[in-house]
Amino acid sequence: MALPGTAPAASTPNSRSWTARPFGRAPTSRWPYLLTVALVLALVLGLAAITLHLERERQRERAALATHNIARLLDANLRSLFEQADASLMVVAAREARRPQGESALSPAMRQQVEVASGLRHLRIADAQGRWLAGGEHDASLADGGALARLSQSQTARLLIEGPRRDAPSGIWVLTLMRPVLDTGGRFLGAVVADLPLRRLDRVFDGLALGDHGAATVRTQRMALVYRKPWPDNEDKVIASTEVSRQLRDEMSRPGVDGFYTASTALDGIERVNAWRRVPGLPLVVIVGLAVDDFEADWQRQLTLVGLLAGVAVLTVAVLVWLLYRASKRRIGAAEQRFEAIVQFSRDAIISKSLDSRVTSWNAGAEAALGWREDEMVGHSISRVLPADRQQEEVDLMARIVRGEVVEAFDTVRLHRDGHRVDMSVSVAPLYDDHGRVIGASSIGRDVTRQKAMEEEIRSLAFLDPLTRLPNRRLLLDRLNQALVRARRDRCHGALVFIDLDHFKDLNDTHGHEMGDRVLVETAQRLSAHVRLSDTVARLGGDEFVVVCPDLGADPETALRDVQNLMVKLDHALSQPLAIGDLQHGILASLGWRVFGPQDHDPDEVLKDADQAMYAQKASHRAHENAVNESLFDRSI
């Protein structure tokens, strides 16, 4: 029986000190509040981080979609540009295939027309052996490279692109475009060759919204740089360079016409979200990248704003928690004071003890219930108030307390100082230290002696006749039903004897109810004295009594003889004189009986049959009395 925080501190003989805290752990520590702030901080920061992460991913997705759309636009514009250039070369090739011998291969007008229409310059024509027929006087033979072989081996007339390279005479960077010249039978006659200045691609890339640090490039299939927006300042080192990021090379090694990747560009080290696309029909790849720093600028501003809001939220929560902590501490202090007052002046026995069952606190209620003073119990074993038959109960109880169990109210017995036993209802709870370890037990005990007596009295009123203390009708029917159940189960017999006092009303009217009650009590005593311990004598009410005799054996004849013998004994016992004032009065009764066995089930039916038998005997008694009275009357005449 214990209270939290108590200890067997020194106490004076008349000490009434109470140092215990309420049951359980006192929640005055700052740690729960600090933990609350930490959890709120983690929750706010977690939500902010998730929100920012999702927003960042959405911005990256939008950037990837934007680069994909730009790449598709560049793809279409590049194909249009090269289709226009190829169309000009096709016109020249067709004319060359039909040109009569002796006629000039290229006229100045044709050169000007091609340059104006498609931007191609340095137009030239070679024969099937790679010798220049027109316009290539200062160039190496077309047969010196592999271009002539590729052109002559082609089964169809298609555009061939080489480069980029710097044109020696002009010093500008160009792509070389070549188309084979075939006769009507498909025989290779030569090639039409022209250069496309790389800056001609400016008009394709003009107007692209790439941000401050975005970039769009065109590369060959072997990753040689053809064009870049913005145009590089160190073009001599950059144009035709195949230096690219590892991520781009990995993308190019996979099949497919387009894709995405994020990487730092090899040329300038800027991290970009990139989309790439192979240009159909051309040996070119378009790459469009938006700088992460550009499209994440809004995200950075959101990060700053969310950080400020999170800081304000956490600070607000911290202040509120601190205020709650201070208010809680004040409330707990007030509650502890109220609790100590309740404990000290409670009529219940509130006791605390250590794990070895030594008392550490003892309130006035315990002193009133058990007679021991606080100074006589603190520091001593609780076994002093335990009867010998309850010592093991304490051992079992403390074992449950050590496991942290709460023992709900149970009925037990304690010893008063003067030695008498006290019925008590006790509930016990573990006592913890600030680290959550069980250090003892606290209990509340209530003296239930009077309550037990009242319960017994209520039970008696419910099942016993208040005058004779015999079982009443309710208990009789229960006992009779049990006897019938045993008879069916054990295949045996029993009997019921119904007893009714004769002329009891006349006795009541003549000598009063007090004398009538005396006769009823005497009848109950005489009946109880002449039956077995296993038999039940009950009062139905008024002057009616019943005796239930179970277990009279399996033989019905034997049961019949036993009940007849019992009736003789009862009739003889009741007929003995009873002193009523100066008179000696014999108790006359009518008895009826009923033997029951395995075939009987209804207790009311058995009772009814015995009642009818009793009334038959009562009628016989009256007839006999009438005959006697008539005889006496005749003699008197």
**How many degrees, rounded to 5, is the angle at CA 273 between CA 271 and CA 275?**
135
Give 354-371 pLDDT, tens digit per residue: 999 899 989 888 888 888
Pair 426, 382: CB distance under 8 Å: no
Concatenated DSSP letters of 242-255: ----HHHHHHHTS-
To 10 degrees, the CA torsion angle through 32, 36, 39, 45? -150
Pair 18, 361: CB distance under 8 Å: yes
Superfamily of domain 464-636: Reverse transcriptase/Diguanylate cyclase domain (3.30.70.270)
Mean pLDDT value across residues 574-594 = 82
Residues near 405 by beta carbon (within 8 Å), at least 6 away in sequence = 430
pLDDT, residue 5, reads: 36
Whether 526 has a pLDDT exceeding 50, the answer reads yes
Whether 443 has a pLDDT exceeding 80, the answer reads yes
What is the Cα–Cα distance from 123 to 110, expressed in whole angstroms? 9
Q: Model confidence at 503, in pLDDT bands (50, 70, 90)?
A: confident
Residues near 3 by beta carbon (within 8 Å), at least 6 away in sequence = 20, 21, 22, 23, 343, 350, 352, 361, 431, 442
Whether 588 has a pLDDT exceeding 60, the answer reads yes
Give how far the C-alpha of residue 124 lies from the chain's centroid of Cα atoms, to the nearest Å: 82
Q: What are phi and psi of 409, to 5 degrees?
A: -55, 130
Query: Among residues 123, 238, 124, 111, which one has the least CA distance to residue 173?
Result: 238
pLDDT, residue 11, reads: 37
pLDDT, residue 188, reads: 87
Domain 346-453, CATH = 3.30.450.20
- Give the sheet arrangement for strand 536-541, strand by strand: 536-541, 544-549, 494-501, 589-596
Reading the block at residue 194, the tokens are 């022209």
Q: Model confidence at 62, in pLDDT bands (50, 70, 90)?
A: confident
**b/e string for 457-485 if b means 16 or more Cβ within 10 A?**
eeeeeeebbeebebbbbebbbebbeebbe
Q: Model confidence at 115, in pLDDT bands (50, 70, 90)?
A: confident
Give 165-223 pLDDT, tens digit per residue: 998 888 899 999 999 988 888 888 888 999 999 999 988 888 888 888 889 999 999 99
SS3 category, 615: helix
Domain parsing of the chain, residue ranges: 346-453, 464-636
pLDDT, residue 173, reads: 93
Q: What are phi and psi of 178, to 5 degrees?
A: -135, 140
pLDDT, residue 586, reads: 72
Partners of 391 in the beta sheet?
none
Give 399-433 pLDDT, tens digit per residue: 999 998 999 989 999 999 998 898 898 999 999 98
pLDDT, residue 17, reads: 35
Mean pLDDT value across residues 551-568 = 93
**How many degrees, rounded to 5, is the angle at CA 198 between CA 196 and CA 204?**
100
pLDDT, residue 23, reads: 41
pLDDT, residue 292, reads: 83
Element (H, E) at 54: helix 31-98
What is the Cα–Cα distance from 146 to 144, expressed in whole angstroms? 7
Whether 10 has a pLDDT exceeding 50, the answer reads no
Q: Is the four-CA dihedral 578, 580, 581, 584 of positive or negative sign?
A: negative
Query: Among residues 586, 530, 538, which one has the least CA distance to residue 563?
Result: 530
Whether 138 has a pLDDT exceeding 80, the answer reads no
Query: Among residues 162, 196, 158, which one has the least CA distance to residue 180?
Result: 158
Higher pLDDT, 249 or 332: 249
Give 20-59 pLDDT, tens digit per residue: 343 444 445 677 777 777 787 788 778 877 877 777 778 7
Mean pLDDT value across residues 574-588 = 77
SS3 category, 410: strand
Reading the block at residue 473, the tokens are 């009708």
Query: Among residues 494, 505, 475, 366, which one has the least CA distance to residue 422?
Result: 366
Mean pLDDT value across residues 115-136 = 85
Q: Model confidence at 330, in pLDDT bands (50, 70, 90)?
A: confident
Whether 459 has a pLDDT exceeding 80, the answer reads no
Q: Model confidence at 155, in pLDDT bands (50, 70, 90)?
A: low
Q: What is the mean pLDDT of the chain?
A: 84
Enter the pTM of the model.
Answer: 0.47
What is the Cα–Cα distance from 247 to 97, expressed in whole angstroms? 46
pLDDT, residue 13, reads: 33
